[in-house]
Structure 1
Amino acid sequence: MPIPPDALAALPRPLTARRLLNRLARALRRQGWTVDRRYSETLPILRVFFPGAPCLGESITITAGDGGWWYRSSTGELLAPCSDLDLAVSRVTTVLRRWVSAMRSSGSTDET
């Protein structure tokens, strides 16, 4: 569910955002992803990336959505409600795997 770029988003308190992002970080680490917590910013961000390509990743924030707090991608897409951790992990993983796959296929194309 995309959010228009000019839409004002309601943000949780920093401690709430950190708690929700920490839950997601633990679950993504169990799946083998590398996470970098960037909580010193005004808006807490969780950076998730493939260990072999730290330049290729996704930045996740928390925002208000239909029925509560949602995980939001750097593109503005609402990934999943924070109450559905499994769905959030699945969506983040799907996006990152596509990028990693594209990176690998473009690398093999360059070599031939």
Structure 2
Amino acid sequence: MSATPREHTRTYHLGKLATELELRGLTATLRQYPPALRISDPDAAMLAETVDCVPLSDGWFYRWSWGELVGQTDDPALAAQRIVHVLAARQ
């Protein structure tokens, strides 16, 4: 099964987010199908979350596994800050 253009776009945006998360000390692993990031804190191995990427009427957005939006893909650094904040609050 070959990837669709939409999956390529998701993978592109998730790759940008993964880079930002890794700069902040988190581990981000890309799941290929459907594209999503498995994010974990190496210092708290049991703490992990999944974020995917969805197109909405006003652009592409990162989205938590429970459906709430993290932020626009235009600003992966801001989305990474929000993810770090949420994961830190769970420790």
Same-fold call, TM > 0.5? Answer: yes
Q: CA deviation at 1:80?
A: 0.4
Partner Cα separation in structure 2 for residue 97 and residue 26 of structure 1: 18
- Between Structure 1 and Structure 2, the one with more strand by share is 2
Counterpart of 1:30 in structure 2 is 23
Aligned CA-pair RMSD: 1.4
Counterpart of 1:58 in structure 2 is 49
Between Structure 1 and Structure 2, how many residues are aligned? 87
Partner Cα separation in structure 2 for residue 14 and residue 55 of structure 1: 28
Identity score, percent: 36
Specify every segment of 5 or more residues in structure 2 that has no aligned partner in the other structure, as ranges.
Answer: none
Counterpart of 2:81 in structure 1 is 90
Q: Give CA deviations for 1:59-78 in whole Å, capped at 9, x if unaligned.
A: 01011235100000011111
Partner Cα separation in structure 2 for residue 59 and residue 37 of structure 1: 10
Greater gyration radius: 1
Work out which of the residue numbers 81, 86, 102 in structure 1 matches 2:72.
81
TM-score by length of 1: 0.71
Specify every segment of 5 or more residues in structure 1 that has no aligned partner in the other structure, as ranges.
Answer: 1-11, 101-112
Distance 1:94 1:66, change over 3 A: farther
